[in-house]
Amino acid sequence: MNFDDYRGTWVFMEVKDGAIASVSLELLGAGRQLADKRSSELAGVLIGDGVTSLAQEVIEYGADVVYVYDAPIYKHYRTETYMKALLACVEKFKPEILLYGATSTGKDLASAVATDLPTGLTADTTQLDVEEDTGLLLASRPAFGGNIMATILCKKYRPQMATVRPKVVRALPRDKERTGVIFEESIPIHEDDIRTKVLEIVRNTIQTVRISEADIIVSGGKGMGSAAGFQLIHKLAEVLGGAVGASRDVVEAGWVGHHHQVGQTGVTVTPKIYFAIGISGAIQHIVGMQNSGLIIAINKDPNALIFQSCHYGIVGDAFEIIPLLIEQFRGA
């Protein structure tokens, strides 16, 4: 493999309901830093139906170049169609680094693309950097059940590919003055050759806020005592218009589903306000919420570790304090 043919850092731009996914904008922020350190360009790849209008936004969030595959066949995400477009783009323009959000779409596409290219994939990374001497991508992720951070290098193959968790890196502020180059690309692709058909889209009708996107998160721990006691967390979240988070012990107890888990082996969150209620403050929990704007802890143990990581702490019984908060905010 001739590495000299490969250049630049790319981000696969995920589009949902006509808008660029926030994780893709975050990756442009991280990608910009990597590209600057390696003195190379940053590109975004947009695939979809009617996505050309989003190309300028990709530039305004940090890209130098945007490759666009815009056609009705890409209206809904399908592994086969997106994979064909992305593979064609990789073959033609040869990126050195290719990043995807670790969303269900990003994970699906990245692993499919990896099977067709002579390269590997570092999945679910939480930190990105480049090696000073070589410019190689350093993609780090929790390993061995979260007990160590493993840094993975792809030395022998190109592109170096990684999926990156949402909310672990930051988007740059939008700069409407930024300019770049847009390539409108296409490949011969016909509906008859595609094995999967989208017959119907069934939207999830459960009215919950996704914790990785929420501005307010009310998280509960084992201190809530039981699944019934944990209902108070749901009530407070509802009154505040926030999402429900949880410690791992709560998830393991089966009081809520795994997608509510905050922490090293759960979701990393950065809401404006994070309530940690009946949560002891173990390091594995703290790493998942420490960058929240305002952290408010409620714990009946004045020596609980969580009080070392919060902006405001209330020492007291959650079963007395939460009803008071609900009453207060309901009236607000």
Following DSSP, what letter does each residue of 230-264 receive, concatenated? Answer: HHHHHHHHHHHT-EEEE-HHHHHTTSS-GGGBBST
326 is in an annotated binding site: no
Taking only Cα atoms into account, the Rg of the chain, rounded to an integer number of angstroms, comes to 22
Task: Using CB under 6 A, pick the residue from 127, 265, 290, 291 that binds ligand FAD.
Answer: 265
Stretch touching ligand FAD by CB under 6 A, among 1-9, 12-20, 117-125, 216-224: 216-224
Return the SS3 of 51.
coil
Site for ligand FAD in 230-249 (CB under 6 A): 247-249
Give the start-end residues of each E strand in 80-220. Answer: 97-101, 122-125, 127-130, 137-143, 148-152, 160-164, 181-185, 216-220
Task: State the minimum distance, in angstroms, from the CB of residue 271 to ligand FAD.
Answer: 16
Contact call for residue 165 and ligand FAD (CB under 6 A) = no
219 is in an annotated binding site: no
Distance in angstroms (rounded) separating the CA atoms of residues 263 and 113: 29
Instruction: Please report the beta strands in the chain, taking only residues with DSSP state E, as ranges in sequence order.
Output: 9-13, 15-16, 19-20, 42-48, 65-70, 97-101, 122-125, 127-130, 137-143, 148-152, 160-164, 181-185, 216-220, 243-246, 273-277, 294-299, 312-315
278 makes contact with ligand FAD (CB under 6 A):
yes
With contacts defined by CB under 6 A, name the span among 79-87, 127-135, 204-212, 295-303 that binds ligand FAD: 295-303
| 283 in a labelled binding site | yes
Which CB atom, from 24 or from 247, has the smaller least distance to ligand FAD?
Answer: 247
Residues 143-162 that bind ligand FAD (CB under 6 A): 145-147
Nearest partner of 248 among 229, 269, 231, 267, judged by Cα: 267
Contacting range for ligand FAD; rule: CB under 6 A; set: 13-21, 104-112, 199-207, 275-283 = 275-283
Q: Which of 87, 194, 282, 296 binds ligand FAD (CB under 6 A)?
A: 282
Q: Tell which one of 264, 268, 292, 309 touches ligand FAD (CB under 6 A).
A: 264
24 labelled ligand-binding: no
Q: Which of 34, 168, 240, 250 binds ligand FAD (CB under 6 A)?
A: 250
**Closest Cα to residue 250, out of 269, 235, 240, 263?**
263
| Nearest-approach distance from CB 297 to ligand FAD, in angstroms | 9
Q: Total number of residues binding ligand FAD (CB under 6 A)?
A: 30
Between 104-116 and 79-93, two packed helices, what is the crossing angle to 10 degrees?
Answer: 60
Q: Does the annotation list 97 as a binding residue?
A: no
d(CA 147, CA 316): 32
The closest alpha carbon to 90, from 98, 99, 79, 82, belongs to: 98
Closer CB to ligand FAD, residue 264 or residue 270? 264
* Residue 32 binds to ligand FAD (criterion: CB under 6 A): no
Annotated binding site for FAD: 247-248, 261-265, 278-285, 299
Could you list the residues that contact ligand FAD (CB under 6 A)? Answer: 145-147, 221-223, 247-250, 261, 263-266, 278-280, 282, 284-285, 288, 298-301, 304, 317-319
